[in-house]
Chains A and B, each alone.
Chain A
Amino acid sequence: MGSLVLRDVTKRFGQITAASDISLRADSGRILGLLGPNGAGKTTVIRIIANILTADEGSVTLNEHEVGAWSQEQMGYLPEERGLYKKIKVQDQLRYLAQLKGMPRMEAMDQIQYWLDRLGIEKWGARKVQDLSKGMQQKVQFIATILAHPKLIILDEPFSGLDPVNSELLCDIIAELKENGRIILLASHRMDQVEKLCDDICLIAKGKILLSGDLREVKRRFKREKLALEYTGSLRLLDELEKKGTIQYLERSEDGCILHLSDGCHPRDLLEQLLLVDGLELFRFELLQPTLNEIFIQTVGDS
């Protein structure tokens, strides 16, 4: 089983520390989501992993070997700042980029045809990049990233510029690559996609890791302060609690509501009280997990 491991990685640019003591691990067959606000240091960390920048301190290993020129052939990198040669034909460009990754020419040609078909742009292979729409260029860039069978795939905002249908198509391919045992690093601001795809997350802000680990565990670590109720009957009790400030309605309908519990209100106490209410039939009493978006906003806000 392969893995990418960063240990206490620090990178400074003059007086600015872009990454400070970053330690993280990404395993094959899993997707690690690299999250953080703009200017958090994600791109610096990614460039260090891709061996574009060298860390001032710490180490980066891919399958237990220090990254270097050798590891560049083992990784595919889709940078946030997209770039292709405008005046070169799609297939020539893809072949060149695959060859730079060490892929033999003929194999590259076969793979190019396969991926162009798979992404529905097979008719555009002989056209110059400048003739393609932004979405199509994005697909070409994605193909360039995964073409040479990289063990480590780094995707920085892979869904930007794509419509929902193509986003879904890319999601399927990424999931498939994960099943094939690749190590995948996904940096995105699209929390819904990250939540859907990632197994682990690492949240960075101001060059430091604020939060990391298995996504489900991270969610569990966060206090469940939201409660979903479904019922029939009168619930004057809740109105009284709201007046006292113990709870706060977030959503309300005829047969249910979503509540925010204040610090002094324990869910078990509330349930006991509700069960004592005459004529109330309770169908659902669920402590809701926080969404990744909420975790992101809360963590970054607190920092």
Chain B
Amino acid sequence: MMSRKSLLIMRNECWRRVTSRTFILTTLLGPALLVGLLALVIIGVSSSIGDEFGGKNESLRIAIIDKTGVLGDQMIRENDGNHVLFHFDGDHDSAVEDAVSSRMDAFILIPETIISGTGQPVLYSFQDRGFRVQLELAGIIERSLKDHLLLEANVTDDIRAILDRSVGLDFALTGYEDAQSTANSSLDVDATTDDVGIVMMGTILALMMYMTILIYGTLIMYGVIEERSTRVVEIIVSSVRPIDLMMGKVLGIGLVGLIQMLTWLLIIIGGLVFASPIVGLFVDPAMVDASSQEVLSSIDLILSELSIQLVMAIVVYFIGGYLMYGGLLAAVGSMVDSPQDAQTLLIPVIIPIMAPMMFLSVILLSPNGAISMGLSLFPLTSPVTMAVRLAIGSVPVWQLLISLASLIVSVFGAIWVSAQIYRSSILMYGKKPSLKTVFTYLKTC
């Protein structure tokens, strides 16, 4: 139960921060920068979409030195019109001369051995033409070669169609009961989970939790250092218990974070709505609409993956993680006289926050693997890891229970330990912080 004084400290911490000029500026400029960046991305995506469909792409004049005598014509037929392909009867050296005199931008040498599968065509150019051009031309050559070989083998169109068929694989999460109920019926299409949405949601969630815990946790640490360095802390702890001060600070700054994020969310949504017409000034409005549609459908995709239970579980892990790290970072702040002095003590606290981010791809690819399981059971890494696992797939109940229990115990443990360190160290000035000092403080409690 929070004390009246903790509430008062929380209110004061929150109020004095949200009314500061720095907060107002960062809250307003942060999303402006983000929206600006997003607009740039949309412009970039739009122009690349434009390139894709031959709108504003660079069209190259590419000569074909065809040693096979058959693939050149086929390639010119297969060309989708993006580049100009033409035969060149000379050899490599004369082609180079022509390229120097700008009669061509590049040339492809198709060796005779390509038919037997031993030779490899080469694209020559004075400039780097980019991977996309290379891929486009490789596609043309591959299709031409395939056509030629199938024709040589007298393959009929029916067999060609069979060869061209491709099969995708959808993925659906289902329990035993679901399996029973769906055994007699075809799998409902809506029940399938879209892997793109899952990966997006997992990544965004991990990033958000990681950033929030780190940014606002560090803010708590700086707040404690400020109170120590201005010596105001002695007056405060003569009025309140250190644990009340610490909790008030942790929760007050948490509230600041919440206000800032909600404001950002509103500004970003508003920005997305109003950014389209502005971006439309630079690129084709149809492209912008397509990009905005992409963004909106992605948001829709993410929202469709969320359930109330999932949101609640994520909130529990988020609050647990924030309180645990907020307390630990407050304790770090209570032991140092300046942010520079905090570096040594920060390392053991920051590494567990970063661990799930370092293993994010492993967690996303194998959410029930050993690493994912280990990280989601260990309380210092469980908030981010378990939230991601829950968001992207099913987690066995026993793991969830162990993880939650260890997190709850750890939150109280971390707050208790932090409060003891805070209480012992808050009035000790001029001591160089080290892990040894931490143990000394804990021993004297």
Q: In the bound complex, do residue A52 and residue B232 qualify as a contact, i.e. CB atoms below 8 Å apart?
A: no
Name 5 interchain pairs, CB-CB below 8 A, sorted by A: A14-B444, A47-B427, A50-B238, A77-B235, A85-B230
Given A96-B12, A100-B5, A100-B8, A52 contacting B238 (CB threshold 8 A):
yes
Minimum Cβ distance to chain A for residue B337 (Å):
13
Q: In the bound complex, do residue B239 and residue A73 qualify as a contact, i.e. CB atoms below 8 Å apart?
A: yes
Given A14-B444, A96-B12, A83 contacting B231 (CB threshold 8 A):
yes
A51 CB-CB contact with B under 8 Å: yes
Query: Which 5 pairs between the two chains have the least Cβ-Cβ distance?
Result: A83-B231, A83-B232, A100-B239, A77-B238, A81-B231
Q: In the bound complex, do residue B241 and residue A69 qualify as a contact, i.e. CB atoms below 8 Å apart?
A: yes
Q: Identify which of A75, A96, A141 contacts B238 (C-beta below 8 A).
A: A75
Q: In the bound complex, do residue B440 and residue A97 qualify as a contact, i.e. CB atoms below 8 Å apart?
A: no
A72 CB-CB contact with B under 8 Å: yes
**Cα of A79 to Cα of B234 in the assembled complex, Å:** 7
Q: In the bound complex, do residue B440 and residue A14 qualify as a contact, i.e. CB atoms below 8 Å apart?
A: yes
A89 to chain B: closest residue by CB: B16
B233 CB-CB contact with A under 8 Å: yes
A82 CB-CB contact with B under 8 Å: yes
A86 CB-CB contact with B under 8 Å: yes
**Cα of A265 to Cα of B16 in the assembled complex, Å:** 70
B445 to chain A: closest residue by CB: A54
| Chain A CB within 10 Å, residue with most, of B227, B230, B239 | B239
| Chain B CB within 10 Å, residue with most, of A52, A75, A77, A85 | A52
Q: In the bound complex, do residue B16 and residue A88 qualify as a contact, i.e. CB atoms below 8 Å apart?
A: yes
Interface residues on A, range: 20 to 34
Interface residues on B, range: 20 to 34
**Cα of A13 to Cα of B443 in the assembled complex, Å:** 11
Q: In the bound complex, do residue B231 and residue A86 qualify as a contact, i.e. CB atoms below 8 Å apart?
A: no
**Cα of A50 to Cα of B239 in the assembled complex, Å:** 8
Determine the chain A residues whose CB is within 8 A of the CB of B231 once the complex forms. 79, 81-83
**Cα of A69 to Cα of B238 in the assembled complex, Å:** 9
Determine the chain B residues whose CB is within 8 A of the CB of A79 once the complex forms. 231, 234-235, 238
A101 CB-CB contact with B under 8 Å: yes
**Cα of A80 to Cα of B230 in the assembled complex, Å:** 13
Within 8 A of A (CB), among B328-384: none
**Cα of A51 to Cα of B232 in the assembled complex, Å:** 16
A282 CB-CB contact with B under 8 Å: no
B7-38 to A contact mask, C-beta < 8 Å, 1/0: 01100100010001000000000000000000
Determine the chain A residues whose CB is within 8 A of the CB of B8 once the complex forms. 96, 99-100
A43-56 to B contact mask, C-beta < 8 Å, 1/0: 00001001110000
Q: In the bound complex, do residue A52 and residue B237 qualify as a contact, i.e. CB atoms below 8 Å apart?
A: yes
A84 CB-CB contact with B under 8 Å: yes
B239 to chain A: closest residue by CB: A100
A-B contact sample (20 more), CB < 8 A, given A83-B233, A87-B20, A97-B239: A13-B444, A14-B444, A51-B238, A52-B234, A52-B427, A69-B241, A72-B240, A77-B234, A81-B234, A82-B231, A83-B232, A83-B234, A83-B235, A85-B16, A85-B230, A85-B232, A86-B230, A97-B235, A100-B236, A141-B235
Determine the chain A residues whose CB is within 8 A of the CB of B238 once the complex forms. 50-52, 72, 75, 77, 79
Q: Identify which of B5, B16, B230 contacts A83 (C-beta below 8 A).
A: B230
Minimum Cβ distance to chain B for residue A49 (Å):
10
Minimum Cβ distance to chain A for residue B14 (Å):
12
A144 CB-CB contact with B under 8 Å: yes
Within 8 A of A (CB), among B294-312: none
**Cα of A52 to Cα of B424 in the assembled complex, Å:** 10
| Chain B CB within 10 Å, residue with most, of A72, A87, A100 | A100
A134-161 to B contact mask, C-beta < 8 Å, 1/0: 0000000100100000000000000000
Within 8 A of A (CB), among B228-265: 230-241
Minimum Cβ distance to chain B for residue A202 (Å):
20
**Cα of A285 to Cα of B323 in the assembled complex, Å:** 75
Q: In the bound complex, do residue A84 and residue B230 qualify as a contact, i.e. CB atoms below 8 Å apart?
A: yes
Within 8 A of B (CB), among A20-43: none
Determine the chain B residues whose CB is within 8 A of the CB of A52 once the complex forms. 234, 237-238, 427
Within 8 A of B (CB), among A96-148: 96-97, 99-101, 141, 144
**Cα of A13 to Cα of B237 in the assembled complex, Å:** 19
**Cα of A96 to Cα of B245 in the assembled complex, Å:** 13
Determine the chain B residues whose CB is within 8 A of the CB of A88 once the complex forms. 16
Determine the chain B residues whose CB is within 8 A of the CB of A85 once the complex forms. 16, 230, 232
Minimum Cβ distance to chain A for residue B235 (Å):
6
Q: In the bound complex, do residue B239 and residue A72 qualify as a contact, i.e. CB atoms below 8 Å apart?
A: yes
**Cα of A77 to Cα of B240 in the assembled complex, Å:** 12
**Cα of A99 to Cα of B248 in the assembled complex, Å:** 14
**Cα of A150 to Cα of B238 in the assembled complex, Å:** 12
Determine the chain B residues whose CB is within 8 A of the CB of A101 once the complex forms. 239
Minimum Cβ distance to chain A for residue B332 (Å):
20
Minimum Cβ distance to chain A for residue B334 (Å):
13
B443 to chain A: closest residue by CB: A14
**Cα of A85 to Cα of B9 in the assembled complex, Å:** 14
Q: In the bound complex, do residue A84 and residue B239 qualify as a contact, i.e. CB atoms below 8 Å apart?
A: no
Determine the chain B residues whose CB is within 8 A of the CB of A144 once the complex forms. 235
Determine the chain B residues whose CB is within 8 A of the CB of A100 once the complex forms. 5, 8-9, 236, 239-240
Minimum Cβ distance to chain B for residue A30 (Å):
22
